[in-house]
Amino acid sequence: MKYQQRQVVAVVLLVTAALAYLAASGPADSRAGGAPLAPNSGEPVPVVAQQNEMHRVVHQLQQRLHTLPQDKDSWAKLGASYVELARVTADPTYYAKAEGALKNAGDTGLAAIGMGTLANARHDFHTARDWAGKAIAALPSNAEAYGVLADALTQLGDDTGAQDAVQKMLDLKPNTASFARASFHFELHGDVDGARDAMKRALTAAATPEEIAFCQYRLGELAFDHNRLDEAAQHYEQGLAARGDDMALTQGKAKVAAARGEAPVAIDIYRKLVARAPLPQYLQEYAELLEANGKTEEAQRQYDVLSEQQRLMESQGASDDLAAALVAADRGDGMQALRRAEAEWSRRQSVFVADAMAWALHMNGRDAEALSYSDRAVALGWQNATFSYHRGMILAALGRVAEAQEALVQALRLNANFSPLQALKAGRKLAELRGGR
Q: Mind listing the pLDDT tens digit for each residue in 383-400?
A: 999 999 999 999 999 999
Task: Please report the pLDDT score of residue 312 as a whole number.
Answer: 85
d(CA 193, CA 236): 19
When pLDDT is averaged across residues 129-154 and rounded to a whole number, the result is: 97
Task: Please report the pLDDT score of residue 8 as a whole number.
Answer: 31
d(CA 300, CA 292): 12
pLDDT confidence tier of residue 36, bands split at 50, 70 and 90: very low
* Residue type present at position 120: N
d(CA 394, CA 371): 7
Average of per-residue pLDDT values in the chain: 88
pLDDT confidence tier of residue 198, bands split at 50, 70 and 90: very high
pLDDT confidence tier of residue 436, bands split at 50, 70 and 90: low
Task: Please report the pLDDT score of residue 22 as a whole number.
Answer: 44
Condensed to tens digits (0 to 9), the pLDDT of residues 55-96 reads 889 999 999 999 999 999 999 999 999 999 998 888 889 999
Q: Is the pTM for the entire model greater than 0.75?
A: yes
pLDDT confidence tier of residue 310, bands split at 50, 70 and 90: confident
Condensed to tens digits (0 to 9), the pLDDT of residues 282-306 reads 999 999 999 999 999 999 999 999 9
Nearest alpha-carbon partner for 57 in 37, 30, 35: 30
d(CA 435, CA 437): 6
When pLDDT is averaged across residues 395-406 and rounded to a whole number, the result is: 98
Q: Is the pLDDT of residue 23 over 80?
A: no
Outline where 346-384 has alpha helix (H). Answer: 351-363, 367-377
Q: Is the pLDDT of residue 177 over 90?
A: yes
Condensed to tens digits (0 to 9), the pLDDT of residues 92-140 reads 899 999 999 999 999 999 999 999 999 999 999 999 999 999 999 999 9
The per-residue b/e assignment along 7-40, b for 16 or more CB within 10 angstroms, e otherwise, is: bbbbbebbbbbbbbbbbbbeeebebeebbebeee
Which residues, other chains included, contact 308 with Cβ-Cβ below 8 Å and sequence gap of 6+? none
Cβ atoms of 95 and 316 closer than 8 Å: yes
